[in-house]
């Protein structure tokens, strides 16, 4: 196991004043995914599955491209408190760890590649079958 590989990646999608899907996924370096659906999702509760080695490589590449540990927040815009957040936490094999609370109402606060990264993780691990269709923001 290389020390510059991720150890775990966690995405937590929070509630809003509507029907936004609320869930959390944890992915470890071996491809084990743990999903916990809370509200406005197709499957509630905890579910686990394994993704392929190729999918893990895709996640590593997406993590490299987004340059997660060097993303900078810009302070501009106005907060509204009725939208969800995506809280992304990455822990590396070497112990480096960072968590970003990406409030989705203020897209200008973070570079657009952060949202693309969050969506790519969901796509690679296949959360659509667990989250389902929703009127909320993902």
Give pLDDT tens digits for 30-69.
999 999 999 999 999 999 999 999 999 999 999 999 999 9
CATH topology of domain 6-130: Mago nashi protein (3.30.1560)
The domain segmentation of the chain, as residue ranges, is 6-130
Give pLDDT tens digits for 91-127.
999 999 999 999 887 667 888 999 999 999 999 999 9
Rounded Cα distance between 57 and 123, Å, is 14
Residues 6+ apart with CB under 8 A from 63: 6, 9, 90, 117
Which pLDDT does position 80 carry in this prediction? Answer: 62
pTM: predicted TM-score of the whole model, two decimal places: 0.89
In contact, 53 and 26? CB cutoff 8 Å: no
Which pLDDT does position 136 carry in this prediction? Answer: 47
């Amino acid at each position: 196991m290389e020390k510059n590989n991720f150890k775990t990646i966690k995405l937590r999608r929070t509630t809003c004043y509507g029907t936004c899907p609320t869930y959390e996924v944890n992915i470890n370096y071996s491809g084990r995914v743990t999903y916990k659906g809370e509200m406005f999702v197709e499957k509630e509760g905890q579910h686990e599955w394994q993704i392929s080695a190729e999918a893990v490589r895709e996640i590593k590449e997406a993590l490299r491209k987004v340059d997660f540990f060097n993303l900078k927040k810009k302070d501009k815009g106005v907060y509204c408190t009725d939208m969800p957040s995506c809280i992304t936490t990455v822990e590396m094999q070497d112990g480096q760890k960072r968590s970003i609370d990406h409030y989705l109402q203020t897209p200008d606060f973070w570079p657009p590649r952060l949202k693309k990264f969050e969506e790519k993780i969901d796509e690679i691990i296949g959360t659509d079958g667990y989250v389902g269709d929703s009127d909320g923001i993902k």
